[in-house]
Amino acid sequence: MLVYIAKRIVFAIPVVFAVALVCFLLVHIAPGDPLISVLPPDASQALADQMRREYGFDRPLPVQFGIWLWNALHGNLGLSIASGRSVTEEVLRAVGNTLMLAVTASVIGFAFGLLFGILAGYYRDSWIDRLVTTISITGVSMPHYWLGMVLVIVFSVILGWLPAVGMGPGGWSWDWEHIQYLILPAITMSVIPMGIVSRTVRALVGDLLSQEFVLALRAKGLSEARVFQHVLKNAAPTAVAVMGLQLGYLLGGSILIETVFSWPGTGFLLNSAIFQRDLPLLQGTILVLALFFVVLNLIVDVAQAAIDPRIKRA
Amino acid sequence: MSVITQDIVQPGPATRTRGYWAGVLRRLVRDPVSVACAIVLLLIVLAAILAPWLGLHDPYQGSMIRRLRPIGTPGYPLGTDELGRDMLSRLVYGGRLTLYIGLLPVGLAFLIGTSLGIIAGYVGGLVNQAIMRTIDVFYAFPSVLLAVAISGALGAGIFNSLLSLTIVFIPPIVRVAESVTTSVRSLDFVDAARASGAGQLTIMRVHVLGNVLGPIFVYATSLISVCMILAAGLSFLGLGTKPPEPEWGLMLNTLRTAIYINPWVAALPGVMIFVVSICFNLLSDGLRSAMDVRS
């Protein structure tokens, strides 16, 4: 197992390098002067050149990439152009908020997704199956940012039960005063993973139940609960992979929901970085989110191998 | 074929009554859900194309005195937006841009991704490695993040969001195309064609392309709904279309300020995105099962 984990980590290194390169290039294909948002419009050429030197924008691109990568490896993602603060600090603060939202959303989404999927797969072609299929296709087709707006309309504007935007006063703590801010964004975010997980699990369970080993297990007189245990264990690796991927998508794709709910996470940061043309902040945020995704994929690989030893040999 | 319920299938005589695609169409037309979705989509597309001849209000013409009228106002059946523009007209006209930036990227990604995937799968070796490892890098980014990052770096605009969405949808199509091509290439009839002296191009055109295009196409259609949501999402963030252009995602964004005054009008553009996206999803599912000859 340790060898397998080591192998996966070694395989991930070139991916991480390539991801860093893409993040770096992404910002340098951007048209216009990266300093345009901080320089006063009447700035002298001398001032512009000085600023360019300070941010290192005057060096050749490969050198800039080397310096940026070296600093990034040491946890230094440079200074935000708009605020002048350390990008690493800003991103880490925001990542915490996004993680909290994404993890809460996935707990909700995965719980319902698994429940619906297992029920629909077990009672295939029954009314439960049709209901679950309808729910999951609705969830997958729903523009979630619109669902967020509708939930705000219903629960904040009309009923006045829950707050519409923000994270509550002061710092975060797990009391009702703050948790009520988490409910709407988390539910909004959980709809897509719920749909996708229930769809996948339904297909998995349905397919497994029609396989011969299930027939053999039943033939030898195993109780239905024990048979089901076998089915679930066989469905687990794929289900884990789908859920890991979904958590990654939630982390990286939280920008739309964070915009709707003014949730101060990475999406919010990304939004302000884009519109203030704060390129170091944009670069840093994308890099951190992409690295999260790579690590998550790694964990999924290892978890799959831990559940199903056959995967290790492939 | 299962071991327990194994039965010997005798290959019937090779008769060709009707084409494969005619059969697919016949099965698709028998599915009421698919037909209903196709009709709804057709109506929306027709309305978008014929918008200037439908006798609607000018979608750009606002009025300060009739802002945010509710649904059912005489003369404005779906109300008016935050600048007093007719919602019905803007929703119909909005279909033009929304469908355009929702459909074109998947179409382009289908062309580019299929070509790359078939080349990778058919040629194999170093070419396969070069193409597939490059694709892996894009897989390291969640799709929404990649789309937002590219169009955010390039700046707002229709062309940039088309570009970023196309880049986002190429990698998954390449993966599907590559795996389908690899599995078809190793089948007996390709060997048989090679043994009978067919050239590489002939094998590719007749034997490979004909067998891989169907599955890739079905996969691509399943991406349309994701692309519609994402494209409107980019506009919703202010990264796609610019005001005053009518586009559903952008309309949803500008109407956000109105949810305290006239919430249901503000939610309308999202209903359109939802309807179009669910119809494409159901149609794609219908197409998939219509193409599945086993069922």
ipTM confidence score: 0.85
The average confidence (pLDDT) of chain A is 86
Question: What's the pLDDT at A39?
Answer: 67
Do you know the residue count of chain A?
314
Contact (Cβ atoms closer than 8 angstroms) between residue A149 and residue B262: no
Q: Taking CB atoms and an 8 Å limit, are B282 and A31 in contact across chains?
A: no
| Residue A212, helix vs strand vs coil | helix
Domain assignment of residue B197, yes or no: yes
Question: What's the pLDDT at A40?
Answer: 67
Cα distance from B205 to chain A (closest Cα, Å)?
33
Buried b / exposed e over B239-252, threshold 16 CB at 10 Å, is bbbeeebbbbbbbb
Cα distance from A49 to chain B (closest Cα, Å)?
23
The pLDDT tens digits for B107-152 are 999 999 999 999 998 888 899 999 998 898 888 888 899 999 888 8
**The domain that contains B48 carries what CATH number?**
1.10.3720.10
Q: Six-digit token pair at B82?
A: 């935050």
Q: Is B34 on the interface with A (CB under 8 A)?
A: no
Q: Is B289 on the interface with A (CB under 8 A)?
A: no
Q: Taking CB atoms and an 8 Å limit, are B281 and A153 in contact across chains?
A: no
The residue type of B11 is P
Q: Which of residues 146-175 of A touch B (CB under 8 A)?
A: 146-147, 149-150, 152-153, 157-158
Contact (Cβ atoms closer than 8 angstroms) between residue A257 and residue A182: no
The pLDDT tens digits for B207-239 are 888 888 888 999 999 999 999 999 999 999 988
Instruction: Tell me the chain B residues in contact with residue A256 when contact means C-beta distances shorter than 8 Å.
Output: 144, 233, 236-237
Cα distance from A246 to chain B (closest Cα, Å)?
9
The pLDDT tens digits for B174-184 are 999 999 998 88
Question: What's the pLDDT at B168?
Answer: 93
Q: Taking CB atoms and an 8 Å limit, are B136 and A15 in contact across chains?
A: yes
The pLDDT tens digits for A127-173 are 999 999 999 999 889 999 999 999 998 998 888 888 888 877 777 77
Considering only alpha carbons, which residue of chain A is nearest residue B282? A137
Q: Is A297 on the interface with B (CB under 8 A)?
A: yes
Question: What's the pLDDT at B283?
Answer: 93
B200, pLDDT greater than 90 = no
Domain assignment of residue B14, yes or no: no
B294, pLDDT greater than 80 = no
Question: What's the pLDDT at A257?
Answer: 92
The pLDDT tens digits for A185-215 are 999 999 999 999 999 999 899 888 888 888 8
The pLDDT tens digits for A86-102 are 888 889 888 989 999 99
Considering only alpha carbons, which residue of chain B is nearest residue A19? B137
The pLDDT tens digits for B32-51 are 889 999 999 999 999 999 88
Instruction: Tell me the chain A residues in contact with residue B144 when contact means C-beta distances shorter than 8 Å.
Output: 249, 252-253, 255-256
Domain assignment of residue B245, yes or no: yes
Instruction: Tell me the chain B residues in contact with residue A294 when contact means C-beta distances shorter than 8 Å.
Output: 140
Centre a 10 Å sphere on the Cβ of residue A7 and count the other Cβ atoms it contains: 12
Question: What's the pLDDT at A15?
Answer: 87
Q: Is B274 on the interface with A (CB under 8 A)?
A: yes
Q: Which domain holds residue B129?
A: 29-60+84-291
| Cα–Cα distances in angstroms (integers) from residue A78 to residues A71, A83, A204, A281, in the given order | 8, 12, 46, 8
Tell the burial category of A191 from Cβ atoms under 10 Å away from its Cβ (0-12, 13-18, 19+).
buried
Interface test with A, best of B145, B150, B225 (most A CBs within 10 A): B145
Residue among B291, B280, B259, B285 at smallest CA distance from B41 = B280
| Residue A86, helix vs strand vs coil | strand
Q: Lowest-confidence range among A3-7, A48-52, A220-224?
A: A48-52
Question: What's the pLDDT at B17?
Answer: 55
Residue among B214, B217, B218, B211 at smallest CA distance from B188 = B211
β-sheet bridge partners, residue A86? A79
pLDDT, average across residues B248-268: 86
A5, pLDDT greater than 60 = yes
Q: Taking CB atoms and an 8 Å limit, are A157 and B141 in contact across chains?
A: no
Residue among A293, A278, A295, A294 at smallest CA distance from A87 = A278
pLDDT, average across residues A30-57: 71
Q: Taking CB atoms and an 8 Å limit, are B142 and A253 in contact across chains?
A: yes
Q: Is B153 on the interface with A (CB under 8 A)?
A: yes
| Residue A122, helix vs strand vs coil | helix
**Sole residue written with tokens 């295009």:** B213
Contact (Cβ atoms closer than 8 angstroms) between residue A18 and residue B137: yes
pLDDT, average across residues B150-176: 91
Question: What's the pLDDT at B9?
Answer: 54
Identify which of B153, B252, B260 has the shortest CB distance to residue A146: B252
What is the C-alpha radius of gyration for chain B, rounded to an integer number of angstroms? 24
| Residue A79, helix vs strand vs coil | strand
The average confidence (pLDDT) of chain B is 85
B73, pLDDT greater than 80 = no
Half-sphere exposure in the Cβ direction for A293 (13 Å, CA): 29
Considering only alpha carbons, which residue of chain B is nearest residue A32? B154
Question: What's the pLDDT at A117?
Answer: 93
Q: Which of residues 133-152 of B touch A (CB under 8 A)?
A: 136-138, 140-145, 148-150, 152
CA separation for the pair A261, A151 (Å, rounded): 11
Q: Taking CB atoms and an 8 Å limit, are A146 and B4 in contact across chains?
A: no
Contact (Cβ atoms closer than 8 angstroms) between residue B216 and residue B177: yes
Considering only alpha carbons, which residue of chain A is nearest residue B260? A157
Half-sphere exposure in the Cβ direction for A28 (13 Å, CA): 16
A288, pLDDT greater than 80 = yes
Q: Taking CB atoms and an 8 Å limit, are B137 and A15 in contact across chains?
A: yes
Contact (Cβ atoms closer than 8 angstroms) between residue B238 and residue A275: yes
| Residue A187, helix vs strand vs coil | helix
Q: Is B270 on the interface with A (CB under 8 A)?
A: yes
Q: Taking CB atoms and an 8 Å limit, are B263 and A157 in contact across chains?
A: yes
Question: What's the pLDDT at B8?
Answer: 54
Q: Six-digit token pair at A116?
A: 């619906």
Question: What's the pLDDT at A198?
Answer: 93
Centre a 10 Å sphere on the Cβ of residue A280 and count the other Cβ atoms it contains: 20
B11, pLDDT greater than 70 = no
Q: Taking CB atoms and an 8 Å limit, are B4 and A29 in contact across chains?
A: no
* Total beta-carbon pairs less than 8 A apart between chain A and chain B: 137
Backbone CA torsion sign across B257, B263, B267, B268: negative
What is the C-alpha radius of gyration for chain A, rounded to an integer number of angstroms? 24
Question: What's the pLDDT at A253?
Answer: 83
Q: Taking CB atoms and an 8 Å limit, are A293 and B140 in contact across chains?
A: yes
Model pTM score? 0.86
Q: Lowest-confidence range among A39-43, A235-239, B119-123?
A: A39-43
As for how many domains chain B has, the answer is 1
Domain assignment of residue B282, yes or no: yes
Q: Lowest-confidence range among A32-46, A162-176, A220-234, B173-187?
A: A32-46
HEC assignment per residue over chain B: CCCCCCCCCCCCCCCCCCCHHHHHHHHHHCCHHHHHHHHHHHHHHHHHHCHHHCCCCCCCCCCHHHCCCCCCECCECCCECCCCCEHHHHHHHHHHHHHHHHHHHHHHHHHHHHHHHHHHHHHCHHHHHHHHHHHHHHHCCCHHHHHHHHHHHHCCCHHHHHHHHHHHHHHHHHHHHHHHHHHHHCCHHHHHHHHCCCCHHHHHHHHHHHHHHHHHHHHHHHHHHHHHHHHHHHHHCCCCCCCCCCCHHHHHHHHHHHCCCCHHHHHHHHHHHHHHHHHHHHHHHHHHHHHCCCC
Domain assignment of residue B12, yes or no: no
Q: Is A193 on the interface with B (CB under 8 A)?
A: no
